[in-house]
Amino acid sequence: MNFLFRLLIPAALLVPLAPLLAQDQAQTGLPRTTLSAGFHQIEVQVASTSAQQATGLMYRTEMPQHEGMLFIFPEHRQQCFWMKNTLIPLTAAFLADDGTVVNLEDMQPQTTQSHCSAKPVRFVLEVNQGWFMKKGLKAGVRLAGPPFKGAH
């Protein structure tokens, strides 16, 4: 009985962690690239499939200040994001094909409020809230990086 008890308790403790562990596994396999705005650089994971995009940055408790996630959609349309199951405050940068920031939206954790692009876009960059502001970057700034090369 004592042996069974020792096995069940650790398993029971892991059940609430299952979404976090699955999220961590899903995120580690994403391709990475570097984007820049002048001399400011940010390392991003690239979410290009619907499954990767549906998971996004959910369940993370922290993200390094120099990292983010770039969502690449197959078609231009108004992109809208919300923060249900996302635990850290983020800024969404909605980007034109050439990497120009169309608009920035600060998003609060664990909310279902929609934050949308001002016009149809294919790219959305999520970073820690305040990343753009701390660097003095606003709508109209142009980001550079491999995803935008074909658009120049």
Domain at 34, CATH number: 2.60.120.1140
Q: Which domain holds residue 39?
A: 30-151
Mean pLDDT over the full length of the chain: 86
Residue 115 belongs to some domain of the structure:
yes
Asked whether residue 4 is domain-assigned, the answer is: no
**Which conformational region is residue 141 in: left (phi greater than 0), alpha (psi within -120 to 50 degrees), or beta?**
beta
pLDDT confidence band for 83 (50 / 70 / 90): very high
Per-residue model confidence (pLDDT) at position 12: 46
How sure is the predictor about 44, in pLDDT bands with cuts at 50, 70 and 90? Answer: very high
Task: Enter the pTM of the model.
Answer: 0.81
In the prediction, which pLDDT does 29 show? Answer: 83
Q: Per the structure, how many domains does the chain have?
A: 1
Would residue 16 count as lying in a domain?
Answer: no
Which has the minimum average pLDDT: 16-25, 108-117, 137-146?
Answer: 16-25
Domain annotation covers residue 20: no
Residue 69 domain flag: yes
Q: Work out whether the CA dihedral 88, 89, 95, 99 comes out positive or negative.
A: negative
Give the single-character DSSP code of 43: E
